[in-house]
Amino acid sequence: MAAREREVEALALAGGRVVAIGTSVEMLALAGSGTRRVDLGGKRVTPGFNDAHSHPCDAGVALLTQIPLEMDSIEAIKSAIHTRAAGTPPGEWVVGFLYDDTKTPRSLDRADLDAAAPDHPVIVQHRGGHTAFVNSRALALVSITENSPNPPHGEYFRDSSGRHNGRVAEKAAEAILALAIKPPSREDYRKGAALISRRFASRGITSACEADGSPAILQGYQDARDGGELMGRFYTHIDFAQLDNMMAAGVHTGFGDEWVRVGAIKLFADGSISERTALLSEPYAGLGDYRGISRASRETLYEQARKAYLAGWQVGTHANGDVAIDTILGVYEQLQREFPRRDPRLRIEHCTLVTPELVRRIKAASVIPLPFAGYVFFHGEKMHFYGEARLEHMFAMRDFLDAGIKAAPGSDYTASPAEPMLWLRSQVTRADASGHVWGANQRITIEEAIRCSTVHGAYASFEEGIKGSLAPGQLADLVVWDHDLLTIDPAALMSVKPERTMLGGRWVYEA
């Protein structure tokens, strides 16, 4: 991924960085008596992958305390909830996560959860993080009756008879989660960060953007790093709600070092693709006139973005639907007009559904899109809600690259798996798990896909000077793969595994 050399045979490393690249003969000539020589047996090496938008720390903390419901059977989910409830004092919350309503034959509902745990309030979070499923006790605890109106920027979904079916979205879900989840301890955050960083390293991911952090999460990464347990580098966005605290501490984007760094201020414009709450200009297919959910007005987004921007922050705004993207792009354009600033690298997190005009404006404003890397493959069974024509403009990697835009894809883990081979497969083939191709016009090559998840990921966090390639001067973050991902049939990419992962010159994972 270095600018000049397409690929090289050998690397020389020192002090945690790459110091030279070339042929084996050239590199061996640099070796001294104390030099370790490692023969990788001709295996393919790439820079460590960068998950440019994910939620590792929260996922790690959830793994410690909540029920993982990554299951395709309603009965299995009910049984897992029932078992957890049996060991939980009556009246206390039972919380699940990683559920995906389109991976089960039908969606989980309030009656399922009432049956599984009649004496406990239950909330099951969708793996996408914008919707959840609750039982009657949970609704009663937040005083929601059949007559309660939807809160601003949120929704309580109903069945055909008009009763709450237990599905809640956006601000409605957030209000219940705030009651259900006890604030994790400092120790929980440290353990969560360490746990997920180890998993990421085992998948070949050495860097990630923590896409919605807080001072507590920042500290969790720092504690894990101090304890020698952090197996990756984390660029940590800070939720807007914490901006005042961060400003009081006198820090902004870029503060930190190559292990833990303060990222952008995170804003939200709309809902989610996997949960069908993204704000679209045309209705979802098969859902009547429903067009998704806005999470903030333009006025609010402008005020929030302006405050962060003027305090020296990068801004990263979650926007999936074309309506939401148009809104936040307008805010970014206005800010750059009113307060010109050199190279602010304003980000649109996800930036899923675009138009040629939006792509042109994104390029003109030097905005960085952070599209979902693996959704066509992993969430393929949801794509019919968007339809063939719209998919030609979703996760629009070809359009971004052709326009010269440095798009940096991410998993949004837990929303989809943090698995680089799944990302490559999805972007190169645009095929879902059943083989159906969605938006073939947006295919990119395997080399482009690797570049987007390494070089572009580093650019999105202002770190292209230290990582993303294996050029001299860059951090020695690399992955040795067991098969050659550049020559394998793209449909077989998921069989390619990391053999070893190196972080800063040290092996942190060995199969």
Which residues contact Zn ion (rule: CB under 5 A)?
211, 412
Shortest Cβ distance from residue 388 to Zn ion (Å)? Answer: 26
Tell me how crowded residue 321 is: count the other CB atoms within 10 A of its CB: 26
CA-based Rg of the chain, rounded to a whole angstrom? 23
Nearer to Zn ion (CB atom), residue 211 or residue 480 = 211
Shortest Cβ distance from residue 228 to Zn ion (Å)? Answer: 28
The answer to whether 122 touches 138, Cβ cutoff 8 Å, is yes
Nearer to Zn ion (CB atom), residue 350 or residue 456 = 350
Shortest Cβ distance from residue 426 to Zn ion (Å)? Answer: 17
Shortest Cβ distance from residue 129 to Zn ion (Å)? Answer: 6
The answer to whether 268 touches 296, Cβ cutoff 8 Å, is yes
Nearer to Zn ion (CB atom), residue 171 or residue 384 = 171
Nearer to Zn ion (CB atom), residue 128 or residue 204 = 128
The answer to whether 426 touches 374, Cβ cutoff 8 Å, is yes
Helix 322-338 crosses helix 356-364 at what angle (to 10 degrees)? 30
Shortest Cβ distance from residue 236 to Zn ion (Å)? Answer: 13
How far, CA to CA in Å, does 26 sit from each of 29, 30, 97, 156, 187?
5, 7, 52, 65, 47
Contacts of 193 by beta carbon, 8 Å cutoff, 6+ apart: 56, 57, 60, 217, 220, 221, 223, 224, 229, 230, 234
Shortest Cβ distance from residue 272 to Zn ion (Å)? Answer: 8
Nearer to Zn ion (CB atom), residue 110 or residue 126 = 126
Contacts of 277 by beta carbon, 8 Å cutoff, 6+ apart: 130, 131, 155, 169, 170, 270, 271, 292, 293
Nearer to Zn ion (CB atom), residue 46 or residue 426 = 426
Compute the distance between CA of residue 325 and CA of residue 332 in angstroms, rounded to an integer.
Answer: 10
Nearer to Zn ion (CB atom), residue 412 or residue 477 = 412
Shortest Cβ distance from residue 418 to Zn ion (Å)? Answer: 12
Shortest Cβ distance from residue 227 to Zn ion (Å)? Answer: 26
Report how far Cα 187 is from the mean position of its chain's Cα atoms: 23
Token pair 């020559």 is at which residue? 487
The answer to whether 483 touches 496, Cβ cutoff 8 Å, is yes
Angle at 404 between CA 402 and CA 406, to 5 degrees: 115
In the chain, the largest separation of any two C-alpha atoms, in whole Å, equals: 79
Shortest Cβ distance from residue 1 to Zn ion (Å)? Answer: 25
Nearer to Zn ion (CB atom), residue 51 or residue 326 = 51
Nearer to Zn ion (CB atom), residue 211 or residue 479 = 211
Contacts of 402 by beta carbon, 8 Å cutoff, 6+ apart: none
- Sheet with 347-350, edge to edge strand ranges: 49-54, 205-213, 233-239, 260-268, 315-319, 347-350, 368-370
Shortest Cβ distance from residue 57 to Zn ion (Å)? Answer: 12
Residues pairing with 349 in the sheet: 318, 370
Nearer to Zn ion (CB atom), residue 273 or residue 362 = 273
